[in-house]
Chains A and B, each alone.
Chain A
Amino acid sequence: MNPQTATTLLELRDLRTVFHTARGALTAVNGVNLSLHEGEVLGLVGESGSGKSVTLRSILRLVRPPGKVSGTVLWRGTNLLELPESRLRKVRGGEISMIFQEPMTALNPVLNIGEQITETLQEHTNLSSQDRNARATELLELVGIPSPKERLKDFPHQFSGGMRQRAMIAIALASNPKLLLADEPTTALDVTIQDQILKLLLRLKDTLGMGVILVTHDLGVVAQTCDRVAVMYAGRIVEVAPASELFAQPRHAYTLGLLNSVPGAQSTRRPLIPIPGAPPNLANLPPGCPFSPRCPYVTNACKLEQPALQAISSTRLSACIHFDRLEPVNAQPPPEVQP
């Protein structure tokens, strides 16, 4: 997929996560191909239910039953999906760490922060108990928690929202991971704190040389932090592009719809254009392009078969057969296209 395989850190090949429920099989992640380079920040965006979080969890096999993950998750040459549990545990938290959306629910309420950091260190390092405590203090300091030594004894409910997210990042960074999976890390925070946390993540990424996959539905966050963006819709990647190029000119009708539906920073105010309809039922996808029922550019060709994700330039991929017909962002919606 990418010529620079030497620097590829993680590669997903035909990743598929299916939930077998009583009402049929729900394909939450539907053949995702994606790669991440060392030190890169990749944004994974899409609406709620588009499969972003499930993709992230599938990488570390954290999907709960009845979810089943198949395909390949190639991590430095090893397929994580075939790794025995004992070796996978070394990767989890050791080489790949994950942070969650809501630190209040992701931190254990009855264990103090120090305990929650040192247990990770105990699992992944040979540090003595004393060194683990020292390292925990150091980590809290690294993520900008004042008087870290004292706060190690505090419980999550004694922290503010932003502090909790910092603490969770400290836990995730405990054993110097090479990749950080961040599942909507700022969604539960207010805007000023959000900004602090994103800056913190970027700073840590640079100092520790990690790759980051950032799942978010907030395009503002993507613009601020990501090198490259992958847009998901109905369990599929529909567009991949460098962040600046994506915002300048989307090459998938869905991405265009997303960009048009959020307020921009233009001097003139314009009405927001929502995407009509709702995301499709994952148990019963429409034929052809899954976005076609909501798409203003739809033609008959869209409904015939599922368009593949294809290279449309040296840096960009799109799964839209009308990628070259799309209007610029913030233009008026195109006239009704007759199907």
Chain B
Amino acid sequence: MNRWSYIIMRVLQVIPTFFVVMALVFFMVRLLPGDPTSAILGERATEAMIARGNKELGLDKPLIVQFGVFVGHFFQGDLGDSINLKVPVFRLILERMPVTLFLTLYASVLAVLLAVPLSFVAALRRDTGIDSAIRGMFQIGLSMPVFYIGLQLLTILGARWRLFPIGGYGETFFEHLWYLFLPALTLGFNLAAILMRNLRAAILEVLQSEYVDFARAKGLRSSLILGKHVLRNAVISTVTLFGLNIGGLIGGAVITESVFAIPGVGRLMVDSIFGRDYPVIQGLTLTFAVLVSLTFILTDIVHAQLDPRVEVT
């Protein structure tokens, strides 16, 4: 099987996953206590008012009928309208998604920029003070919740020292980079910790291998040995780990966007859950599912690209 048919097959495999996610999210959001109408009308709403509201939204019908309507609309390319914002869900996602994608990508880049050099330093200075310091720092990254790191960065670097904006997204690309630096760092730090732990161990293992000795015996300079022979091998397992953690990154984005007041889908998700905005929750969850699935496929492709021993079948 060639590479292209492999990719097409993998993409087709996403479809059943997609339907399972669709059913799961539809029924699970309805397990949440409360409903959109009471969320909109507030505490003073009477039973009659809620019943009228539910009827307008079609929420009085049996669940299975509602699911049928949801699936039916889906196949017409319609994810429904937001109950609270009164706009099509599809348009909402399209508006907000670039912000979140930018944040996630930015966080990934920062994570890699942190993890790769620090893993090398830690591995090459194994069991020294530097190694311990780096590992200690990342142990903190692993054990602290994302929102807490975010709040600390925000308080110290943003509010007290005024080095970075404390919220918003900016207008141009460079403003995005500037405004999103703290949130991306918050989000990326945890991922960096995961990557670094794996990469450091992988580098240590590769450094022990005989092909590194052989490369030295060939008279190659250390920078070439580390950058080519060691990194190319050490990074293979880390790429898979990176892909597996993209889902976590999106979950982290939901929280980070709330902390930093960034108008991305993460915050939209949180707002929608509080407002019991069923169509938006469903639409976003499906979008996340597709994104994560595509990342997995991409990871497999990159993995096969990096390791010639892997056959794509």
Note whether A and B form a binding pair.
yes
Q: A: which residues have CB within 8 A of B?
A: 57, 60, 62, 89-94, 97-98, 100, 102, 105-112, 119-120, 123-124, 155, 157, 168, 171-172
Is the Cβ of B220 less than 8 Å from the Cβ of A123?
yes
In the assembly, what is the distance between CA of A157 and CA of B308, in Å?
9
Interface residue stretch chosen among B18-26, B81-89, B211-219, B282-290: B211-219
For residue B309, give the distance in angstroms from its CB to the closest CB of chain A.
5
In the assembly, what is the distance between CA of A97 and CA of B307, in Å?
28
A89/B214 contact (C-beta < 8 A), A110-B233, A110-B236, A157-B309 known: no
Residues of B within 8 A of A107 (CB): 211, 214
In the assembly, what is the distance between CA of A91 and CA of B233, in Å?
27
**Residue of chain A at shortest CB distance from B211:** A108
For residue B126, give the distance in angstroms from its CB to the closest CB of chain A.
10
Is the Cβ of A108 less than 8 Å from the Cβ of B217?
no
Cβ of B261 < 8 Å from any Cβ of A?
Answer: no
Is the Cβ of A92 less than 8 Å from the Cβ of B216?
yes
Is the Cβ of A89 less than 8 Å from the Cβ of B233?
no
Cβ of B44 < 8 Å from any Cβ of A?
Answer: no
In the assembly, what is the distance between CA of A64 and CA of B80, in Å?
65
For residue B156, give the distance in angstroms from its CB to the closest CB of chain A.
40
In the assembly, what is the distance between CA of A108 and CA of B213, in Å?
10
For residue A24, give the distance in angstroms from its CB to the closest CB of chain B.
19
* Chief secondary structure at chain B's binding surface: helix
Is the Cβ of B216 less than 8 Å from the Cβ of A62?
yes
Residues of A within 8 A of B218 (CB): 92-93, 97, 119-120, 123, 171-172
Pairs across A and B, CB under 8 Å, 30 listed: A60-B217, A89-B219, A89-B220, A89-B221, A91-B219, A92-B216, A93-B217, A93-B220, A97-B217, A97-B218, A98-B214, A105-B209, A107-B211, A107-B214, A108-B229, A108-B233, A109-B233, A109-B307, A109-B308, A110-B233, A110-B309, A111-B228, A112-B308, A119-B220, A119-B224, A119-B228, A123-B218, A157-B308, A171-B218, A172-B218
Cβ of B130 < 8 Å from any Cβ of A?
Answer: no
For residue B222, give the distance in angstroms from its CB to the closest CB of chain A.
8
In the assembly, what is the distance between CA of A171 and CA of B229, in Å?
15
A105/B307 contact (C-beta < 8 A), A89-B221, A123-B220 known: no
In the assembly, what is the distance between CA of A172 and CA of B215, in Å?
10
Residues of A within 8 A of B307 (CB): 109-110
Residues of B within 8 A of A157 (CB): 308-309
User: What is the total number of residues of chain B having a CB less than 8 Å from a CB of chain A?
Assistant: 22
A106/B216 contact (C-beta < 8 A), A111-B228, A155-B308 known: no
Is the Cβ of A100 less than 8 Å from the Cβ of B214?
yes
- Taking a contact as CB atoms closer than 8 A, the residue among B213, B214, B220, B306 that contacts A110 in the complex is B306
* Residue among B213, B216, B219 with max Cβ neighbours from chain A (10 Å): B219
Is the Cβ of B221 less than 8 Å from the Cβ of A108?
no
Residues of B within 8 A of A62 (CB): 213, 216-217
For residue B227, give the distance in angstroms from its CB to the closest CB of chain A.
12
In the assembly, what is the distance between CA of A93 and CA of B211, in Å?
14
Known: A90-B219, A108-B229. 5 other contacts (CB 8 A): A100-B210, A106-B213, A123-B220, A124-B219, A171-B214
In the assembly, what is the distance between CA of A102 and CA of B209, in Å?
11
In the assembly, what is the distance between CA of A110 and CA of B303, in Å?
11
